[in-house]
Amino acid sequence: MSRGGRGGGRGGGRGGGNPAMAMMPFELMGDLGSGGLFNVQTDLFPEREIAYPRAPTTREKEQLAASKSYRQALKSSAFYLRPPPPPKDIERYSDRYKANLDKPPSLQIISSNTSFFPDELHSILDPKKKVKARKQTYDQSNALRDLDALTNEAENGTKAGDDDDEDEEKEGQGSGAEEEDYDDEEDLIDDNDYGQNYFDNGEGDDVDDDDEGGGDFY
Amino acid sequence: MSTQPRLCREIVLEHFGPIVEQVAQVLLTKGRLTLSGIVQFTQMPVRTVREALVVMIQHNICFYAEAREGLRQVCFYSIGQDEILLRLRIGRIIYWAGEWFGKEASTITHLMLLNGRLTLKDLKQWVTDNESSPQQKIVVYEQKFSQLASKRFITAVMPEDSKARIDRQLEAEARAVNEILLGPSTREKAEIEVKVQQQLEDEDQSRQMIGMKRKVTENMDDDVSASKRFAFTVEMDVEDDVFFRINYKQFTKYFRNEAVIDQATDVINRGAGQVLRLFLEQSDSFTGGIGKEESQPTSALHVASVLPHDMLTDSGLDSREDSVHNDRPTAADIVTEYFELLRQSPARFIKRADNKGHNFFVVDFKNIRLYMMRKLFDKLLKSRFGNSTCRIARILIEKGKLEEKQVQKMAMLPAKDTREKLALLCTHGICDIQEVPKSADRAPSRTIFLWFVSLDKCYQELLIDLYRSIANVRQRIRVELATRQRLLEKMERKDVSENQDLLSAGDKKAIEELNKKVERLEVSAGRLDEMVMVYRDF
């Protein structure tokens, strides 16, 4: 959409000028400064008429009261999480009058069904449940396991016995556990490492003379 | 920052505190994350993040999805922006629950919104702890609870509720795809998608009956009002241990019906509003889904049979003809006349239902919604830009695409003014230009420029503007409270909260001013939310 087309399409007239400015010759426009062509108000807070809103009706006031009491109740409930208060430095006179900011009730007392929450959050609701370590579910179509099977077959011949299967399973589980540790490091150690393979720091370059007189000019 | 996340942040900060707000902010800006992702971005201890997630899931604003990644099972959390935005309406919901069902109902909704989810057992416990003479009150509370549940204002919570909807959809689609041998074609995939959507919606609808034991009793007593004679009163008993939560959609539907009735009262008269209310009650619009464009059909006779008696004498209609027998108009006549008025009004409240036989009408919600949106839009234009600009916009809306000269003639304004005003509307995104080139090279001097207004686009932009305004108002409230932090702390002191006279005169005046300011700001936020309801939810 070409908004510029609209202004340019009107032809030779001066668009956007203020009404008092007739066809002023171009040379004299410099005296006006930017007040000639641009009619935009540049005040930070331009004058505006602000309408007064209607007074609140009784219904609106009561809705407001309901909303306010709800928010206050929520603030003192277990659901409003606050950062821990800063440690007290010195004892002050007003401390004895300070509103009791007792420790808000913890989330354990809210009644809720743990089936509504994922496993990792169960420990918050029910402190007896330990944090479940992330289960490593063993995927049947695990490509790694197939690879292990292939390598085992290659090494031990085509003996597809039960012993091999058991070994593979143990190896798979073991390697699965170790995999997590190695994952981070393996990302760093890579065959395609540009830095090691290609990057030339430029230390060994000879410094050429600026005067390259050998160029041929045709 | 885009407007919806900003408004969500303000709401979460106000309701749940700074910690939950930080977690919500990360989820809003980064999308779905695992627990470790959230910990990494917020730099908060793991336990704190877990608590924040529990709070959010409990209040139904956060969803989780368990997915498989390689060897591990990870859990992704995502936030529901729509659910957070609905929390703006909490004050209105609590108040109207009290108006429609009694004081106990408003306490029930208050508690349910406070806890996110509530069982009947917990409610009874609360009543025993907090109310005088609990034995009688428990019965009343239980009755109100069942009433709310049977009218679907509160629904049972299932474990699937906290799972992200899109994951459920994808799972269902994957299951359906697996059933088809040889892989599905594109058309079959599209069919599966539609079917799965329908399935999920049906599940949501049928969900509403869970958690209740049903007793059907036919109530043929005389003291039951006539409107109930047509429906069996179904009495529901609620089970004690099932968790319930507020069903915002049902409240929105009631708000919509009230707004429609108010419109009829404004446009025509009070009698028309009453007739429309009876119509809606008759056609059972208070229980169907909100997406419906039309209500169930009813005829004038049905409505006439439930017309209250005072309408017969004071119907609000004026009969100018000399009636021979000097008898008062019958109920059927009054209703028929009102139906004509409703049908022919510019808002087109009702229209004929062709398939149900002669003289059956339906309430046309779609037209009413468009009418309300348009009316609000006109009002806003007028207050923002003035009469003449509003006139230009209305001309463009009604006539379609016009050239500048035609607009000038129709609006009866000088050429310079129309140009300026059209440009003003353009910068605010209300009108657009369509270029029609006359020659192959698109020279501006040889193209026709047509101005037009695209109403859908305007409504969408208006909705975003409303969100931004509400966020600004909330921020202003927060700032006003923050600048007076010391004064508020003084108010919370134990000796002051008991005895207000300990404050100096200046302090008292400052508190009064603060209360007035906050009241005005909150009321304007409430009105903006009403407008959001018209544009988004009706």
Could you report the average pLDDT of every consecutive run of 10 residues in chain B (538 residues)? Answer: 89 93 93 91 90 89 83 86 91 92 91 88 85 82 87 82 78 79 74 80 67 49 44 59 86 89 86 83 62 67 73 63 59 80 82 73 85 91 89 92 91 90 89 89 86 92 93 95 89 77 85 92 92 88
Sort out which chain B residues have CB atoms less than 8 A from A99's CB and list them: 492-494, 497
User: Does the distance separating the beta carbons of A60 and B523 come in below 8 Å?
Assistant: yes
Other CB atoms within 10 A of residue B98 CB:
19
CA B348 – CA B341 distance, rounded (Å)? 9
Task: Quote the pLDDT of residue B93.
Answer: 93
User: Does the distance separating the beta carbons of B122 and A116 come in below 8 Å?
Assistant: no
Residue A98: C-alpha distances to residues A1, B373, B392, B483, B492 (Å): 63, 50, 61, 20, 7
* Residue in B16, B68, B122 nearest the CB of A79: B16
Residue A125: C-alpha distances to residues A106, A118, B267, B348 (Å): 9, 11, 54, 53
- Which phi and psi (to 5°) does residue B77 adopt? -115, 140
Question: Which residue in chain A has the smallest CA separation from B520?
Answer: A56
Question: Which residue in chain B has the smallest CA separation from A3?
Answer: B433
- Kindly indicate whether the ipTM for this predicted assembly is greater than 0.85, answering yes or no: no
CA B349 – CA B366 distance, rounded (Å)? 9
What residues have CB less than 8 Å from B210, skipping those under 6 apart? B155, B156, B158, B242
Please say whether the beta carbons of B417 and B380 come within 8 A.
no
Query: Of residues A60 and B280, which shows the higher confidence score?
Result: A60
Which of B13, B19, B71 to mutate against chain A (most A CBs within 10 Å)? B71
Taken as a whole, chain B contains a residue count of 538
Q: Is the dihedral of CA B296, B534, B92, A79 positive or negative?
A: positive
What is the largest distance, in Å, between two alpha-carbon atoms of chain B?
A: 90
Block residue for tokens 């606050």: A82
User: Does the distance separating the beta carbons of B57 and A70 come in below 8 Å?
Assistant: no
pLDDT higher than 60, residue A7: no
- Residue A14's pLDDT band (cuts 50, 70, 90): very low
Task: Quote the pLDDT of residue B365.
Answer: 84
User: Does the distance separating the beta carbons of A64 and B494 come in below 8 Å?
Assistant: no
Sort out which chain B residues have CB atoms less than 8 A from A178's CB and list them: none
Q: Judge if B250-363 and B369-453 fold alike in CATH terms.
A: yes
* Residue in A74, A83, A139 nearest the CB of B71: A139
Residues A159-183: tens digit of each pLDDT: 444 444 444 344 434 444 444 444 4
Q: Is the dihedral of CA B146, B151, B154, B157 positive or negative?
A: positive
User: Does the distance separating the beta carbons of B73 and A97 come in below 8 Å?
Assistant: no
- Quote the minimal CA–CA distance from B398 to chain A in Å: 23
Task: Quote the pLDDT of residue B151.
Answer: 83
Task: Quote the pLDDT of residue B159.
Answer: 79
User: Does the distance separating the beta carbons of B16 and A81 come in below 8 Å?
Assistant: yes
What token pair was written down for A74?
């929520």
Task: Quote the pLDDT of residue B275.
Answer: 83
Other CB atoms within 10 A of residue B424 CB:
16
Reduced to 3 states (helix: H, G, I; strand: E, B; else coil), residue B152 is coil
Residue B361: C-alpha distances to residues B8, B206, B303, B347, B350 (Å): 41, 28, 11, 15, 6
CA B15 – CA A74 distance, rounded (Å)? 7
Sort out which chain A residues have CB atoms less than 8 A from B161's CB and list them: 116
What token pair was written down for B274?
């009453």
One-letter identity of residue B530: E
Residues A105-156: tens digit of each pLDDT: 776 666 677 778 887 777 777 766 665 554 554 555 555 666 777 777 666 6
- Residue A12's pLDDT band (cuts 50, 70, 90): very low
Sort out which chain A residues have CB atoms less than 8 A from B515's CB and list them: none
Task: Quote the pLDDT of residue B515.
Answer: 92
One-letter identity of residue B50: R
Pick the CATH number of B250-363 from 1.10.10.10, 3.30.1360.30, 3.20.20.140, 3.40.50.2000: 1.10.10.10
Q: Is the dihedral of CA B87, B93, B95, B101 positive or negative?
A: negative
Reduced to 3 states (helix: H, G, I; strand: E, B; else coil), residue B311 is helix
User: Does the distance separating the beta carbons of B58 and A110 come in below 8 Å?
Assistant: yes
One-letter identity of residue B408: Q
User: Does the distance separating the beta carbons of A107 and B55 come in below 8 Å?
Assistant: yes
- Quote the minimal CA–CA distance from A145 to chain B in Å: 11
- List the single range of A77-86, A190-199, B54-63, B385-394 with lowest mean pLDDT: A190-199
Please say whether the beta carbons of B445 and A9 come within 8 A.
yes
Query: Of residues A37 and B158, which shows the higher confidence score?
Result: B158
Sort out which chain A residues have CB atoms less than 8 A from B433's CB and list them: 1, 3, 6
Pick the CATH number of B369-453 from 3.30.420.40, 1.10.10.10, 3.40.50.150, 3.10.20.740: 1.10.10.10
CA nearest to B166, candidates B50, B290, B291, B79: B79
* Residue in A61, A81, A82 nearest the CB of B55: A81
Number of Cβ pairs < 8 A linking chain A and chain B: 174
CA nearest to B494, candidates A75, A101, A65: A101
CA A84 – CA A79 distance, rounded (Å)? 15
User: Does the distance separating the beta carbons of B523 and A121 come in below 8 Å?
Assistant: no
- Quote the minimal CA–CA distance from A157 to chain B in Å: 28
Question: Which residue in chain B has the smallest CA separation from A124?
Answer: B51
User: Does the distance separating the beta carbons of B494 and A100 come in below 8 Å?
Assistant: yes
Strand B431-437 to B350-352 pairing: unpaired
Other CB atoms within 10 A of residue B217 CB:
9
Domain limits, chain B: 3-79, 92-214, 250-363, 369-453, 462-537
Which of A61, A62, A81, A98 to mutate against chain B (most B CBs within 10 Å)? A81
Block residue for tokens 């300011």: B517
Average pLDDT over residues A28-34: 54
- Report whether CATH 1.10.10.10 matches the domain B3-79: yes
Please say whether the beta carbons of A112 and B58 come within 8 A.
yes
- Quote the minimal CA–CA distance from B231 to chain A in Å: 32
The B350-352 sheet, strands edge to edge: B298-299, B360-363, B350-352
User: Does the distance separating the beta carbons of A82 and B18 come in below 8 Å?
Assistant: yes
- Quote the minimal CA–CA distance from A170 to chain B in Å: 15
